[in-house]
Amino acid sequence: MSGVFLIGAGMTPFQRAALADLTGLAREAALLALRDAGLPAAQVGAGYFANVLGPQLTGETTAGQFVMAALGVRRVPVVNVENACTSGSTALWLAVHGVQSGEFDVALVVGAEKMSVPGLGLLHGGSKEIETQLGLVMPASFALRARRYMYEFGTTAEQLALVSVKNRRHATHNPLAQYREPVTLAQVLGSPMIADPITRLQCCPTADGAAAVVLASSKVARLRRRAVRIDASIQCSGSYENPVDLARWETDRRGCLLAYERAGIGPDDLDVVECHDAFSIAEIMHTEALGLCEPGGGGLLVEGGATTLGGRIPVNVSGGLLSRGHPLGATGCAQVVEIVQQLRGEAGARQVLGARVGLAQCMGGDQAADAKSCTVVVLSV
Amino acid sequence: MSGVFLIGAGMTPFQRAALADLTGLAREAALLALRDAGLPAAQVGAGYFANVLGPQLTGETTAGQFVMAALGVRRVPVVNVENACTSGSTALWLAVHGVQSGEFDVALVVGAEKMSVPGLGLLHGGSKEIETQLGLVMPASFALRARRYMYEFGTTAEQLALVSVKNRRHATHNPLAQYREPVTLAQVLGSPMIADPITRLQCCPTADGAAAVVLASSKVARLRRRAVRIDASIQCSGSYENPVDLARWETDRRGCLLAYERAGIGPDDLDVVECHDAFSIAEIMHTEALGLCEPGGGGLLVEGGATTLGGRIPVNVSGGLLSRGHPLGATGCAQVVEIVQQLRGEAGARQVLGARVGLAQCMGGDQAADAKSCTVVVLSV
């Protein structure tokens, strides 16, 4: 138990919005979160801003200061955080410590990313590494993992593709997701091959967007009926690739175990999960790392319907990265926004009935040894 | 009292090192800090990495993960922090919360900057703002403040220049400073005019470099004779320019008052100060904000020798940014490294005799409303 609560959550639509700017997107999400919390900007004790590509694409630094100023969050501490795909959830992790330390009672965490920049926008993560320069870009890296997983466990290309089918079906109920049309198994398998066995509909699309959450101490949260408890917030690093075992993510597994231990629960206690489905194989491997199935059982798990809305443990009911898109700095916060809405029973047609315990898992970083970051947040009501 | 201690500190020389890379610089400083702490990398519970220009100049993201991996700091949380000139001290501020929260007992904070990049390296801070685009670049902005300060308080161009004379004299005793030759008043006043009244020798030079500190809980620090106590670590934001009063920094003043309150001391209790002398006028205004003199008294303070080594309250005994140079991400940590060495009595020829309480003040950010960041750290033995 962290003693810290989530009292507000909000996000923009995730979509290609070439004309939107980073500050505007961030401001929109933050205002929704503050309104949701019923708090004026003046009560925010610190601002944490997560973003990855701003400095590279548009030369922006101290972007968080501009965002907070645009919100009317003044005079308080403001920090800019970058941690690849886990930037938003790392900012949340830092904000939890700030509240725990007693430095302030309310923290605003905003993650935002502008990826579709006219004339720019190329994502070249890991370009420092010789493997990437030689062709091991993200889809290729995930394809290698998929091949190994299929070889070891007999997982089929159809099972991989079913992740996209499931998440796109979930997204039909999420008005903020970029792609809301369902797709069939044949469509997923028949879409252009990106890196065998991963087809285009098994890759998360580019998107612009922002998401924000408001954290509070128990003192502030006590009187709020809709407050959600943060039972665990974990961040850890490690190898992206396990050089001796491509089919397992040791870092991921370690982060999940730490989170369960901290929250005092196990996988069976979870009602709803958001995980980092940047590619279809990623969800399969994450569900395994989360202990939602036996080792090697990720393919059967999705095929059997357990992770579908209405199933034993619904995963990526928001539509996931595969449907929403993946604005890097925003994703870690957006996953938490979804869990908050689920635990409050405010998720509309995609509501997991009676959800009381949820988990958001995120992963990112370069492919080099120990350059990976993993975050896990456990929330409950 | 924060309950957090500094048990190790180290930094690279600050100099133009066009062939050095960011990871290498950071690693060098971090190894020095770990050796100083007498701790193996395996005992580090979290890594905080501060950097500003990496993404812009060389496209680096998640640079902290590469730095920590190069050090052998594995599996633990790693975060990348950006907050303009205060990036290093903001990372320290975050690490203090991490230790306070009980998440880990030892944190490694590394600030680094590679500014002299062949073919690149232009610093265009604040370029988003129309005032900057129209010519209000940093030296011009500080020149406006200097003019106003001189007009209000009768401060002279000579008094401004004496800041550079003093700090360059201090730097003769600092082997890690970039410029270690003393300069005369005539040389400072006669150097090329950059933005009247600020001449070239009153502007901090470009530098590459890194600095690192090791933080520890009282549990770990207890048995260490050389541990330094963190009595206060403050970060706040606000206006860089006070539109109705160019001659005062309200944010700076507020940060300093918060730090004094937290540490339970006043300016008279300080033995040694490092402040953000990016330009000569900045030190004059910071010493005033710190309460080391009456309002308007910054010029007389330096002229009277109070802030010289051997004076009442020595300021920038390291030589300051004016002598060392200002590798953005590293500066906030480098100031703390200097104070740690002073409080341990390890500063050699520039030692402030009997120093027991020290303060490091840093300031940065864009010039826009509320886009400024200020950090203040109070340390004692």
Chain A: closest CA distance from residue B99 (Å): 9
pLDDT of residue B245: 77
- B123 has a pLDDT exceeding 60: no
Residue B168 tokens read as 């360059």
**Which of these ranges, A117-121, A183-187, B4-8, B249-253, has the smallest mean pLDDT?**
A117-121
- Is residue B249 pLDDT above 90, yes or no? no
> Is B95 in CB contact (< 8 Å) with chain A?
no
A122 touches chain B (CB under 8 A): no
A74 touches chain B (CB under 8 A): yes
Q: Is A281 on the interface with B (CB under 8 A)?
A: no
Categorize the per-residue pLDDT at B131 as very low, low, confident or very high, splitting at 50, 70 and 90: confident
pLDDT for A369 beyond 70? no
Q: At what angle do helices A63-71 and A22-37 cross, to 10 degrees?
A: 50
Q: Once rounded to an integer, what is the mean pLDDT over residues B327-356?
A: 98
Instruction: Give, in degrees to the nearest 5, the angle at Cα B362 between B358 and B367.
Output: 160
Active site residues of B: 85, 326
Q: Helix (H, G, I), strand (E, B), or coil: what is residue B110?
A: strand
- Residue B361 backbone dihedrals phi, psi, to 5 degrees: -115, 140
Enter the pTM of the model. Answer: 0.96
Nearest-by-CA chain A residue for B66: A371
Angle value at C-alpha B34, between B29 and B37, nearest 5 degrees: 130
Assess whether pLDDT exceeds 70 at residue B122: no
Give the mutation candidate from A27, A65, A74 for the B interface (greatest B CB count, under 10 A): A65
* Cβ distance of B236 and A76 shorter than 8 Å: yes
Tens digits of per-residue pLDDT, A281-304?
Answer: 999 999 999 999 999 999 999 999
Residue B247, pLDDT score: 85
The number of helices, as runs of H, and strands, as runs of E, in chain B is: 14, 11
In angstroms, the separation between the Cα of residue B308 and the nearest Cα of chain A is 32
pLDDT band at B242 (very low <50, low <70, confident <90, very high): low
> Nearest C-alpha of chain B: how many angstroms from A74?
6
Place of tokens 């997982």: A155
Task: Tell me which chain B residues have a C-beta less than 8 angstroms from the C-beta of A78.
Answer: 83, 237, 373
Q: What is the pLDDT of residues A297-324, one digit of tens each?
A: 999 999 999 999 999 999 999 999 999 9
Q: What is the pLDDT of residue A271?
A: 98
Asked if B254 is an interface residue toward chain A (Cβ–Cβ < 8 A), one would say yes
| Mean pLDDT, chain B, whole residue set | 93
Percent of chain A whose predicted confidence (pLDDT) is above 70: 94
Q: Do B56 and A52 touch (CB under 8 A)?
A: no
pLDDT interval class at A242 (50, 70, 90): low
Mean pLDDT of B202-220: 97
Residue B2's pLDDT is what? Answer: 83
Q: Please give the pLDDT value at position B368.
A: 65
- The answer to whether A59 contacts B56, with C-beta atoms less than 8 Å apart, is yes
**Interface test mutation site (partner A, options B62, B101, B129, B130, max chain A beta carbons within 10 A):** B62
Domains and CATH numbers, chain B: 4-120+207-228 (3.40.47.10), 130-204+232-380 (3.40.47.10)
pLDDT of B244 above 90: no
A326 included as an active-site residue? yes
Report d(CA A37, CA A218) in Å as an integer: 14
B372 touches chain A (CB under 8 A): yes
pLDDT digits (tens, 9 = 90+) for A189-220: 999 999 999 999 999 999 999 999 999 999 99
CB-defined contacts A:B, below 8 A: 162
What pLDDT does B117 receive?
Answer: 76
Is B76 within 8 Å of chain A by CB?
Answer: yes
Q: Parallel, antiparallel, or unpaired for β B372-380 and B357-365? A: antiparallel
B128 touches chain A (CB under 8 A): yes
Cβ within 8 Å, pair A77-B235: yes
| Structure letter (DSSP) for residue A103 | S
Instruction: Output the pLDDT for position A120.
Output: 59
* Distance, CA of A321 to CA of A177 (rounded, Å): 9
Whole-number pLDDT of residue A119 = 61
**Quick one: which H or E segment has residue B250?**
helix B250-263
The 10s digit of each residue's pLDDT in A104-127 is 999 999 999 998 876 654 555 545
Please list every residue in chain B whose beta carbon sits closer than 8 Å to the beta carbon of residue A368. 65-66, 69
DSSP codes of every residue in A162-192: HHHHHHHHHHTT-TT-S--S---HHHHHHSP
- pLDDT, residue B141, reads 87
In 3D, which of A116, A14, A33 has the Cα closest to residue A71? A33
Spacing of C-alpha B337 from chain mean position? 9
pLDDT surpassing 70 at residue B322: yes
B2-15: pLDDT as tens digits: 899 999 999 999 99
